[in-house]
Amino acid sequence: MISTTVDSSDTISTMVTPTPYSERLRLALSERKMSSSALAAALGISAAAVSKVLLGGSKTLSVENHVRAARILGISSEWLAEGDGDMVASAPSAIPAQAAMNSAEMELLQIYRGISPAQQEAMLAMARGLVALTKKR
């Protein structure tokens, strides 16, 4: 954030105020059209944990979740952490924006993570069966 002031002697001062982590995360979510709850589901953490960061109750995500969030959002981890450089990731390990999960995919992941291992196996078997049926047509 850049602010310019003029004092009584007509001296112009420009000051760069760093953008807080919460604002950079909010901007990235907005750019990717992803909700905070969808990001939380993709990270496997509570929506409240992400909301706490967005509201400034917590300064940042954990290191592991920070790196994963940057990859999910297809943004630079350095930009998210410090505000340095461009928002869009240039690293080859980043997931491109078009590869980010949509809300339905996020919901499926959240459901999958919330059920027992036996139910997960059944869900995978059902999905594989649907794919097999689709290929036969």
- Share above pLDDT 90 across residues of the chain, in percent, rounded to a whole number: 31
pLDDT of residue 110: 79
Give the angle subtended at the CA of 63 by the CAs of 58 and 64, to the nearest 5°. 120
Mean pLDDT across the stretch 85-91?
A: 73
Looking at 1-116, list the stretches that DSSP marks H as alpha helix, in order from N- to C-terminal side.
21-31, 36-43, 47-54, 63-73, 77-82, 103-113
The model's pTM is 0.58
Per-residue pLDDT tens over the stretch 89-130: 554 444 444 456 677 787 888 788 888 889 989 998 998 888
